[in-house]
Chains A and B, each alone.
Chain A
Amino acid sequence: MEGYLSLWDEYGARIMESFWANLQLTFWAFIACAVLGTILAIMRISPIPSLRAFGTAYVNIFRNTPLTIIIAFGVFVLFGVFKLQLSEDFQFNFFLIAIIGLTIYHASFFCEAIRSGVNTVPLGQAEAARAIGLGFLPAARMVILPQAFRGAIVPMGNVLIALIKNTTVAVAGSVAEISGLMKTMIELRADQGILIFLTVAMMFVVIVVPIGLLITSLSKKLAVAR
């Protein structure tokens, strides 16, 4: 126990700082992937074949590429080869590249979550919207998507939960996040190895479990009565 407490004395601040990085990655990547994913979903249900094809191609490419590879590509190719400099700050640049990688990857899943929500909206809703003279985009914005989002709370929540945990992959992009620190701590404090694992795991559990509960209650509360 004393050993474990001394670990906190030594690493406490860095543990919190690193985990804060994971939460920040989650926050920004989720907002960005929600925007991009929604745009992709609109493309995939649009009447324009080339947009549909683009949306489909995007989802199939990035959903089927490992996240580690996307983030490593960002760091080693976009930064390493093409010198992509999003920020003067060396560390912050990696952080931004990680957000982009997480966004690109999870947008494909978010798009599919929205599409599953669109499938909960009866075809008649779109027909009624068109029949009063709404074009595709206004009908999507005012009739289809509001219902689709409410029908997609659970799959969108699953994307969020996956994203929270997948922020640990940002270690592949040299971001000082919790799984990187965990590896360092295990190497330097091998005596506390199991507890270090459990501590980091618990930190995620503490964040994810309430989100799961919230999703369940929201999905019931927001369900569209038909």
Chain B
Amino acid sequence: MNSDHQAEASSGGPIVRLAGVNKHYGALHVLNNINLDVVKGEVVVILGPSGSGKSTLCRTINRLETIDEGTITIDGKTLPEEGKALARLRADVGMVFQSFNLFAHKTILENVTLGPIKVKGMKKSEADKLAMQLLERVGVANQAAKLPAQLSGGQQQRVAIARALAMKPKVMLFDEPTSALDPEMINEVLDTMVSLAREGMTMLVVTHEMGFARKAADRVIFMADGQIVEQATPEEFFTNPQSARAKDFLSKLITNH
């Protein structure tokens, strides 16, 4: 599977590069001069308090959010503003949302095959085969004929991961993938993500799951007030945070758990 995902990654540079990215919502400076490189195979976890801009950052990478200043490149190609070129680049970036966003009127199988068939022009038989492999892998192959509303949240989110993987993306973005789940379903999704990370997928994950950050992250990025305040290995970050904001953030987590 690993060579599959990465097959199209060509240039030696970072898969994702954000340079001098700024974004405002009115007076709120939601992304403040963000510079970030994610290299091939790297798993980057973004942590931070609510409203720190971490979800916005994640969503700018496939331009679900526009930016005011700066550049974003995916595998060396600058993210276009609109049109077909943007759609093509988005196909290289897998996205998993907090609220799953499975296509509600399509079956689980159709959810996974829509992209390969309509965007990549794959034959239906081939796409079905690929989709069944991916559904097998995330453990919901037996639900393939059902509609999303018939599945639990955890199952839906695993289907969403399969849907993103079906496009053979160069990088996967996870925007708080477990925040809308019941506690008993969080682990099934995190386990899927951990195994994906172990297989070498390049991942950028916004989450509140410290366990995932410890287990799977190569690097932790801590954001506050639209800025990257601190970045370190998970080990360093959790045991020896440098900034006052990060210390404060971590101390609150500990008292809460």
Task: Among A127, A135, A147, point to the contact of B104 (Cβ < 8 A).
Answer: A147
Inter-subunit contact A133/B104 (CB<8 Å): no
Q: Give every chain B residue within 8 A of A129 (Cβ-Cβ).
A: 103
Inter-subunit contact B163/A127 (CB<8 Å): no
CA distance A78 to B115 in the complex (A): 48
Inter-subunit contact A131/B62 (CB<8 Å): yes
Q: Mark A39-76, 1 if CB is under 8 A from B, else 0.
A: 00000000100000000000000000000000000000
Inter-subunit contact A132/B97 (CB<8 Å): no
Inter-subunit contact B118/A138 (CB<8 Å): yes
B213 within 8 A of partner (CB): no
Please give me the 9 A-B residue pairs with the lowest Cβ-Cβ distance, nearest first. Answer: A133-B91, A225-B149, A132-B115, A124-B101, A128-B101, A131-B95, A133-B119, A135-B87, A133-B90
A224 within 8 A of partner (CB): yes
A201 within 8 A of partner (CB): no
Q: Give every chain B residue within 8 A of A226 (Cβ-Cβ).
A: 104, 149
Interface residues of A (CB under 8 A from B): 47, 122, 124-125, 127-135, 138, 142-143, 146-147, 150, 224-226
- The chain A residue with its CB closest to the CB of B63 is A130
Task: Report B109 CB to chain A, min CB distance, Å.
Answer: 15
CA distance A150 to B82 in the complex (A): 29
Q: A124-B99, A130-B64, A132-B90 in contact; A225/B167 too (CB < 8 A)?
A: no
Inter-subunit contact B104/A225 (CB<8 Å): yes
Q: Give every chain B residue within 8 A of A130 (Cβ-Cβ).
A: 62, 64, 87, 90
Task: Report A186 CB to chain B, min CB distance, Å.
Answer: 50
Task: Report B8 CB to chain A, min CB distance, Å.
Answer: 13
CA distance A128 to B167 in the complex (A): 13
B141 within 8 A of partner (CB): no
CA distance A12 to B167 in the complex (A): 65
Task: Report B155 CB to chain A, min CB distance, Å.
Answer: 15
CA distance A134 to B114 in the complex (A): 9
Give residues 175-216 of B contacting A (CB, 8 Å). none
Q: A133-B88, A134-B118 in contact; A150/B164 too (CB < 8 A)?
A: no
Inter-subunit contact A131/B93 (CB<8 Å): yes
Give residues 77-127 of B contacting A (CB, 8 Å). 82-84, 87-88, 90-95, 97, 99-105, 114-115, 118-119
- The chain A residue with its CB closest to the CB of B59 is A127
